[in-house]
């Protein structure tokens, strides 16, 4: 249970604190702070969107790269198979 002295002492400290800090807060433009905060949040969202976009593009490029690698491997196999067939055909035409 608080006694009267503690309560009034607390109020005096609070009022003293307000008097000391009052001049500091008198010159602050809170609407400017709000605007800067909104701008910061906008740029933060924009940066996150760009990160997601870049991440998505990176994944697409990796998929395309994998597709091209697979296609190249397939073409090499097909080419080597054709070379083997051609060499066999060439050998048979040479012997005949």
18-77 residue pLDDT tens: 788 777 777 777 788 889 999 999 999 999 999 999 999 999 999 999 999 999 999 888
Measured between alpha carbons, how far is 50 from 54 in angstroms, rounded to an integer?
Answer: 6
Measured between alpha carbons, how far is 11 from 6 in angstroms, rounded to an integer?
Answer: 9
Measured between alpha carbons, how far is 22 from 26 in angstroms, rounded to an integer?
Answer: 6
Domain boundaries, the chain: 10-71
The pLDDT-based confidence of 96 (bands split at 50, 70, 90) is very low
What single string gives the DSSP state of each residue in 39-95? HHHHHHHHHHHHHHHHHHHHHHHHHHHHHHHHHHHHHHHHHHHHHHHHHHHHHHHHH
């Amino acid at each position: 249970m608080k006694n009267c002295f503690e309560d009034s002492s607390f109020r005096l400290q609070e009022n003293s604190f307000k008097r000391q800090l009052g001049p500091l807060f008198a010159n602050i433009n809170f609407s400017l702070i709000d605007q800067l905060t909104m701008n910061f949040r906008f740029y933060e969202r924009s940066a996150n969107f760009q990160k997601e976009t870049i991440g998505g593009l990176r994944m697409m490029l990796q998929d395309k790269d994998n597709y091209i690698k697979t296609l190249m491997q397939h073409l090499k196999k097909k080419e080597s198979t054709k070379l083997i067939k051609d060499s066999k055909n060439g050998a048979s035409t040479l012997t005949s």
